[in-house]
Amino acid sequence: MSMRVLFSTTPAFGHFLPLLPLARAFRRQGHDVAVVTAVGMTPLISPEGFELLAAGPMPDALFAEVGRKLGINPATEPTPEAVAEFFAGVRIDLTADEAIAQAKRWQPDLIINEMVDFVGPLVATSLDVPLATVAFGPSVPAEFTDALTATARPRYEERGLPAPAGTPSGRWLLDTCPPGLQFPDFAVPSGMERIALRPEPHQAADALAGVGTPQAGGRPRVLVSFGTVFADPAVVGPLLGALTALDVDVVATLGLDGKPEDYQLDSDRVEFSPFVPLAQLLENVDAVITHGGAGTTLGTLARGIPMVVVPQGADQFFQADRVAASGAGLALMPGQADPAAIAAALRRLLDEPTFTAEARRISAEVAAMPTPDQVVERLRAEVAG
């Protein structure tokens, strides 16, 4: 049975990329795939060949509306109230009706959303279509999920729809978090069926080879990546300067539109990289310094590479907490994370083999999880059944 599968995502690279292996697997197995999100995501979605159902604005408009309502920026001040207003308040308000109209026209058999996309669940309820939710990291603490559920509720009620009792709310929880990274008190939400889904670092559709090659002399190779949103030269530049004092080669990502000259650094030990898939960047890397975005964290550990996590905002503090607890890396919170401290943490990562051993233990857990193709087969059977 061929299905029509609609993916729903917050319009940001870090939210869509964890869905991509599953979307590709559905298409490989002959299903129709579309993505409902802001039209500004076209550069990421159209090369994949998926149909884009345009609905709602990009994050800049959403942040502006949250700022107007609450006076704070949820990216840099991720309080439960601000996070809930962004994802389950203004995003539903500015996106949901367009998304429902697009989905009615497209007629999906299954909707798959990411953990903090609240448009997909509302569309699924409106169309009475089964919903699966991809969780792309450790479970979100109750103070956040409670606020998200409460903020979404009146948006359902004003449309005459039954509001979900909790977050997430679908029939299936597609859980990409390996056991060694999960919170010890994690429980599957009531009424949901957990299906493990192997996470993988973002790969180009044609799986290009790695970026650069290790230098002769065998110096450790370190990736510095603060993602597509948090790659601020004011933060990353001084860190790169501190790392040049170590006997390491560095690959530093530039975010979506950064330039090497933004970093005022003159060193043959630092190679700058534009936005390329993480799988490429991780080739031949011994350690990673990162903000702790979910995709970067899980992708790095899937490859068995230890990391220093320097959270900047959003859900990165959860990732930092779990990486440190797992023993697969170190976390430096705001106030601790000056460049010298980060360089010292990297030195520990490279000198003490326990960090690499724990990262490889988590990598082995990831390898034991079902592949995207296996999860597609199971979902197809369950939807058909």
pLDDT at 264: 67
pLDDT at 210: 44
Range in 119-128, 307-316, 374-383 the model is least confident about: 307-316
Q: What is the mean pLDDT of the chain?
A: 88
pLDDT at 288: 92
Share of the chain above pLDDT 90, in %: 56
- Number of other residues whose CB lies within 10 A of the CB of residue 47: 10
In sign, the C-alpha dihedral spanning 188, 190, 194, 200 is: negative
Given a contact cutoff of 8 angstroms between Cβ atoms, the answer to whether 332 and 342 are in contact is yes
pLDDT, tens digit, 9 for 90 and up, residues 212-246: 444 445 788 888 887 655 567 667 777 777 778 78
Find, among 126, 122, 98, 113, the residue nearest to 8 by Cα: 113
CA separation for the pair 139, 120 (Å, rounded): 19
pLDDT, tens digit, 9 for 90 and up, residues 167-182: 999 999 999 999 988 8
Asked if pLDDT for residue 65 goes beyond 90, the answer is yes
- Quick one: which H or E segment has residue 65? helix 59-70
* Span 132-142, average pLDDT: 89
pLDDT at 214: 47
Reported confidence tier of residue 155, pLDDT bands at 50, 70, 90:
very high
Share of the chain above pLDDT 70, in %: 91
* Span 132-146, average pLDDT: 90
pLDDT at 240: 78
Instruction: Annotate 320-343 with b (16+ C-beta within 10 A) or e (fewer).
Output: bbbbbebbbbbbbeeeebebebbb
CA separation for the pair 277, 374 (Å, rounded): 23
pLDDT at 298: 87
**Which residues touch 3 (CB under 8 Å, ≥6 apart)?**
26, 31, 32, 109, 110, 380, 383
pLDDT, tens digit, 9 for 90 and up, residues 303-312: 999 999 988 7
CA separation for the pair 140, 84 (Å, rounded): 12
* Span 374-381, average pLDDT: 97
* Span 122-129, average pLDDT: 98
CA separation for the pair 214, 145 (Å, rounded): 44
Find, among 195, 165, 199, the residue nearest to 382 by Cα: 195
Please report the DSSP string for 185-228 in residue order.
T--PPTT-EEEE--------TT----SS-PPTT---EEEEE-TT
- Number of other residues whose CB lies within 10 A of the CB of residue 186: 13
Q: What letter represents residue 204's amino acid? A: A
Asked if pLDDT for residue 5 goes beyond 70, the answer is yes
> Which residue's structure tokens are 């709602």?
56
Reported confidence tier of residue 201, pLDDT bands at 50, 70, 90:
confident
Range in 67-71, 87-91, 318-322 the model is least confident about: 318-322
pLDDT at 261: 67
Domains of the chain in start order, with CATH, are: 4-199+369-384 (3.40.50.2000), 221-366 (3.40.50.2000)
Q: Is 381 exposed, middle or buried (0-12, 13-18, 19+ CB in 10 A)?
A: exposed
